[in-house]
Structure 1
Amino acid sequence: MSTAYRKHFAPLTNPATLVVVSGALILCAVMGIRQTFGLFIGPFSFDRGIPITLIAFAIALHNLVWGFAQPFAGAAADRYGFAPVVAFGSIIFAAGLALAAVAPSGAMLVVGMGLMVGIGISCTSFGVVMTAVGRVASPEKRSMAMGLASAGGSLGQVLIVPLAQVVRESSGVPTSLLVLALLMAAAAPLGIILDRRNPGAGSSPAPASPALPLSSLREVLSQACRHRGYRLLTIGFFTCGFQLAFIATYLPGYLFLCHMPIGLGATALALIGLFNMVGSAACGWLGGRLRQQYVLGWLYLVRGVTIGVFFFLPKTATSVVVFAAVMGLTWLGTVPLTSGLVAKIFGTRHLGTLFGICFLSHQIGSFLGAWLGGFVFDMTGSYSLVWEGTAVAGLVAALLHFPVDDTTASTSIFQPDPARA
């Protein structure tokens, strides 16, 4: 084979490229399916007689379970590799969707869409995928690689939300959820590719070698929490979860209350996903050229202002499209920036564990955003209080992120990347 031929086709077989593509496909399935849950609130309530509060609790619970399970899923990936973690998560996620498809009561819905889906997402989403991408990418290209993988979640939103809507309308809720379960199960083998290594990245593979044994979860957390930048980053990430969970869960219902066309909610969610493909890649690119905490601060500021303006302006098809486009540009861009900043401060050796702990804050916010929306609506008949709180939270998050200290941790348990050393 000629040198020119090998050079031309090297990017197609480069381990880093394969890991990024595999991670993007996994996130495509996971995040795309997760964004469909708001489409099922009405049918679960009207067709099965399940109270909206209980449906909201099931959706909120999967966010909370996801958050609490994420550090352990990340630690398992750090220690045992990504393939078994992703395979386990894909199957239990699919089983949870299948259980929700046939659930005759709210209790079974909570177990399926709440507990099982939450555990499944923790093993197949950002805390695991971003760790794999972070390890295989070189430090100077890490932020961009994470942004491209994160954009896969948006592709899923663009493709899977309309698919779920069409199948639901033509064949019903059970069939729609079972189709989603099959899609999730198909992602299980992709974890094998995440365990590939790029020799040029300078990152140590997982599981860890005996020469560098992984520290305990308690020790890693104790040392990381002494870093002021990590504390601010973790607190600020709460806002992202709160905003995204509320909007993804209740935007379709809110637009219906505003007398918008029935299909506009699904269209808006798909547009958010479409524009987030650009936004995630752009945030990853900016994170490789600017200080990531500054990009995060401006992202939260733009998001908070956008939410406030949308809520107070009259609702039209145009305003919904513009809102979805701007929100899409800022939707998941926080993930490559936050995970990249954690990797910059602490290296990649414990990235699965540390980003998982940081992500727990995000998911506590997600739980409150999904649950409070339903609770406040049942109490007041309106989502107004939560919309206002969501806008204010964006401004607070911006103030928290601008002063984040990105100084590299010098503690011995956080080994620097050899490529940076």
Structure 2
Amino acid sequence: MIPADCPGSATLIPSPPLRRPAPWIALACGAVIVTIAMGIRQGFGLFMRPVELDFGVGREGFGLAMAVQNLIFGLAQPFVGALADRFGPGRVAAGGGLLYAIGLALAALASTALGLTVTLGLLLGLAMAGVTFVVVLGAVVPLMPPGRRGAAAGIVTAGGSVGQFLLVPATQIAVDGLGWRGALLAAAGLAALMIPLAIGIARKAGSAGGRTAVTPNDIPLSSAIRQAAGHRGYWLLNAGFFVCGFHIAFVSTHLPAFLTDAGLDPGIGARALALIGLFNILGSYAFGVAADRLRKKYVLSWIYFARAAVMALFVVFPLTPLTATLFACAIGFLWLGTVPLTSGLVGQIFGVRYLSTLFGIVFMSHQVGAFFGAWGAGFIFAHTGSYDAAWTLSLGIALLAGLLNLPIRDAPLARPDMQTRPA
């Protein structure tokens, strides 16, 4: 730099560092991104019957497209999370929003099962990884004080349910009025709004708010991953979240068809998905607050046990519009409350520096479960003519997940060289 007092010289002022977004701005933009991304996605089950009638793609074929979406969504999470940790979540979210819009627009042109698998499956699976919980929570949560992180995660998670409540009925209206292709094009235009919203969660890679326990020079990502891999509780979280993914994909993909098969009006299926979203707004926030006040692993176990009870009652009682509505309300309250609790446990045990990457790996397990929930239920239906075995399987693994979360060692990891400093 040329000294400022040299004759004829100009003072060179270094560029200011990229400022962190205000926490409330990041929270609002992150919640709206998740609202759009999850709201559109939760309505895909409404396209199953119109697509089947239009060009003969059966439920197993459509379920496979949804299963591929869930699988790619999951497999991409650790890598997308690492990109967000390295290059910043804003860039990753903007790219995800663009790919989301392109995938939906191309899906509207599909005329084969392969076309649906490539667009709704592969492209949207990649896009979802960039605009949902792993990237958005990794952007928002570190900006919050430690005592408010669970509530913030709950608000972002609830955004997905606001989208489900608002956009699933809108999707049904669009399918009825525009046809399934026109509805996908309308959804593509909505998805494009996520691109400018990504500015609100943009921050310098590696920056975080608040104070966090770190080593003097901060451990590298590879060490953080090895540390998590050696922690039994981390694997138990992966196993429990696998079950959550199975439940979410099975119900969201197959519930409308299950209700229609029983002779109920198709509108009841759309209403059920909307009610799941509505009650999950309450559940996500409630469980997010619980993550700040109660032991997270016990609340997680309670959620899985409660899911088992709700499913058992649903299959035992006669299927009517009333029982479908009550099931939707109950399962909705338990729907995504696992997200703030599971991400909160990851941050509590391992810190928030690499939250996007470490939670991304756990979320990959969630989406592998979702693959089997979407495709497996379709496979069971295709070979047995009913969803009875799928409901029984869902109930059993809910009980298993409740048991797996109980022995998790949830104390923060301590190392001799750890100290606390501003992140």
TM-score, structure 2 as length reference: 0.91
Code of the residue aligned with 2:130 in structure 1: it is C
**Distance (whole Å) between structure 1 residues aligned to residue 208 and residue 82 of structure 2:** 23
Q: 2:201 aligns with which of 180, 191, 194?
A: 194
Could you give the per-residue CA deviations for residues 289-340 of structure 1, whole angstroms, max 9, x where no partner exists?
1000011000111011101110121011111111111111110110011001
Structure 2: gaps spanning 5 or more residues: 1-19
> 1:140-219 maps to which residues of 2 (within 5 A)?
140-196=147-203, 201-202=210-211, 212=218, 214-216=220-222, 219=223
**Distance (whole Å) between structure 2 residues aligned to residue 416 and residue 111 of structure 1:** 48
Q: Secondary structure of the equivalent of 1:102?
A: coil
Number of residues paired by the alignment? Answer: 401
Q: Tell me which moved more, 309-318 or 149-158.
A: 309-318
Structure 1: gaps spanning 5 or more residues: 1-12
2:409 corresponds in structure 1 to: 405
- Evaluate the alpha carbon distance shift between residue 297 and residue 274 of structure 1 in structure 2; reply closer, same or farther with a 3 A threshold: same
* Superposed displacement of residue 412, structure 1: 8.3
Could you give the per-residue CA deviations for residues 57-77 of structure 1, whole angstroms, max 9, x where no partner exists?
100000000100000110000
Say yes or no: does 1:294 pair with 2:298: yes
- Alpha-carbon contact 2:61-2:113 (below 8 Å) kept: yes
1:42 corresponds in structure 2 to: 49
1:27 corresponds in structure 2 to: 34
1:232 corresponds in structure 2 to: 236
- Alpha-carbon contact 2:350-2:413 (below 8 Å) kept: yes
Code of the residue aligned with 1:195 in structure 2: it is A
**Distance (whole Å) between structure 1 residues aligned to residue 397 and residue 275 of structure 2:** 23
Code of the residue aligned with 1:175 in structure 2: it is G
Code of the residue aligned with 1:23 in structure 2: it is G
Q: Secondary structure of the equivalent of 2:211?
A: coil
- Alpha-carbon contact 2:142-2:209 (below 8 Å) kept: no
Q: Which has the larger radius of gyration?
A: 2
- Evaluate the alpha carbon distance shift between residue 188 and residue 417 of structure 1 in structure 2; reply closer, same or farther with a 3 A threshold: farther
**Distance (whole Å) between structure 2 residues aligned to residue 282 and residue 377 of structure 1:** 35
1:386 corresponds in structure 2 to: 390
* Superposed displacement of residue 228, structure 1: 1.6
Code of the residue aligned with 2:171 in structure 1: it is A
Say yes or no: does 1:346 pair with 2:350: yes
- Evaluate the alpha carbon distance shift between residue 214 and residue 183 of structure 1 in structure 2; reply closer, same or farther with a 3 A threshold: farther
**Distance (whole Å) between structure 1 residues aligned to residue 288 and residue 419 of structure 2:** 21
Code of the residue aligned with 1:43 in structure 2: it is P
TM-score, structure 1 as length reference: 0.91
- Alpha-carbon contact 2:91-2:202 (below 8 Å) kept: no
* Superposed displacement of residue 410, structure 1: 2.9
- Evaluate the alpha carbon distance shift between residue 252 and residue 199 of structure 1 in structure 2; reply closer, same or farther with a 3 A threshold: closer
Code of the residue aligned with 1:333 in structure 2: it is G
1:8 corresponds in structure 2 to: none
Code of the residue aligned with 2:361 in structure 1: it is I
2:128 corresponds in structure 1 to: 121
* Superposed displacement of residue 18, structure 1: 1.3
**Distance (whole Å) between structure 1 residues aligned to residue 219 and residue 112 of structure 2:** 47
- Evaluate the alpha carbon distance shift between residue 325 and residue 213 of structure 1 in structure 2; reply closer, same or farther with a 3 A threshold: same
**Distance (whole Å) between structure 2 residues aligned to residue 379 and residue 256 of structure 1:** 19
Q: Tell me which moved more, 67-76 or 90-99.
A: 90-99
**Distance (whole Å) between structure 2 residues aligned to residue 363 and residue 75 of structure 1:** 17
**Distance (whole Å) between structure 2 residues aligned to residue 108 and residue 417 of structure 1:** 52
Q: CA RMSD for the aligned pairs?
A: 2.2
Could you give the per-residue CA deviations for residues 183-228 of structure 1, whole angstroms, max 9, x where no partner exists?
1111112222113589862369xxx9x9547423xx4332201112
Q: Secondary structure of the equivalent of 1:288?
A: helix
* Superposed displacement of residue 93, structure 1: 1.3
Q: Secondary structure of the equivalent of 1:59?
A: helix
**Distance (whole Å) between structure 2 residues aligned to residue 339 and residue 418 of structure 1:** 22
* Superposed displacement of residue 17, structure 1: 1.3
* Superposed displacement of residue 134, structure 1: 1.5
